[in-house]
């Protein structure tokens, strides 16, 4: 990827962050920091990066994976992720050369493009199920209280003796009148 294209990619990413940074909440600063250092590396032909930068990149990729699982994904966010992972992939290939970042970057790109393998889908679903099980077993005290309150009604109903059906008076049917006589 040429430096011109990379700079355009950086501009597009910055534009997304300025318009839609609220999607990331306070973590938007992490992306801005990564972009700033990435631009510095590109302009100054840096050959080695700080370990903290690698950790921040991995944290950002983990955040994008977490967001895919837990949030609604807009087309704009998916496009942002495509551009972001392309930038990180290129910087990783030329400077960092970190195999874990390479794997995670490719994975995040594939999930946002909806083109990951069946094996990855199973692994991904296992993580979602694990999170669901952790959350589903937790109930707020008010929910537990409500559940107990409703159960007490069920118990009360089952302990009561069956009541006899009340007889309802039915009106006598009206006699048929021959209107021809009138």
Domain boundaries, given as residue ranges, for the chain = 3-136
Cβ 96 vs Cβ 55: under 8 Å: no
Predicted pLDDT at 131: 80
Q: Is the pLDDT score of 182 beyond 50?
A: no
User: What pLDDT, on the 0 to 100 scale, is given for residue 114?
Assistant: 78
54-58, 106-110, 131-135, 145-149: least confident range: 145-149
pTM of this structure: 0.66
Distance CA 81, CA 105 (A): 10
User: Which residues, in sequence order, are CB contacts of 98 under 8 Å at separation 6+?
Assistant: 54, 92
The per-residue pLDDT for range 20-76, each reduced to its tens digit, is 989 898 999 999 999 999 888 888 888 888 899 999 999 999 999 989 888 888 889
CA angle 89, 93, 95 (to 5 degrees): 110
Asked whether the predicted pLDDT for residue 177 surpasses 60, the reply is no
The pLDDT tens digits for 86-113 are: 999 988 998 899 999 999 999 999 888 8
Reported as a pLDDT band with limits 50, 70 and 90, residue 19 is very high
Q: How far apart are CA 97 and CA 89, in angstroms?
A: 9
Q: How confident is the model at residue 179 (pLDDT cuts 50, 70, 90)?
A: very low
Over pLDDT 90: what percentage of the chain? 32
DSSP assignment letter at 92:
I
């Amino acid at each position: 990827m040429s430096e011109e294209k990379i700079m355009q990619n950086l501009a597009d990413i910055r534009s997304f962050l300025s318009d839609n940074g609220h999607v990331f909440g306070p973590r938007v600063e992490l992306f801005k920091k990564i972009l700033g250092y990435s631009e510095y590396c590109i302009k100054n032909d840096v050959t080695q990066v700080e370990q903290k930068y690698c950790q921040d990149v991995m944290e950002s990729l983990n955040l994008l994976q977490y967001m895919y699982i837990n949030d609604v994904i807009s087309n704009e966010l998916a496009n942002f992720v495509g551009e972001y992972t392309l930038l990180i992939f290129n910087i990783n290939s030329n400077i960092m050369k970190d195999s874990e970042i390479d794997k995670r970057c490719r994975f995040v790109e594939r999930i946002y493009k909806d083109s990951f393998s069946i094996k990855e889908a199973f692994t991904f679903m296992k993580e979602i199920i694990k999170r669901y099980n952790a959350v589903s077993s937790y109930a707020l005290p008010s929910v537990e209280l409500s559940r107990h309150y409703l159960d007490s009604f069920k118990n009360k109903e089952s302990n009561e003796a069956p009541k006899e059906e009340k007889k309802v008076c039915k009106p006598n049917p009206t006699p048929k009148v021959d209107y021809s006589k009138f």
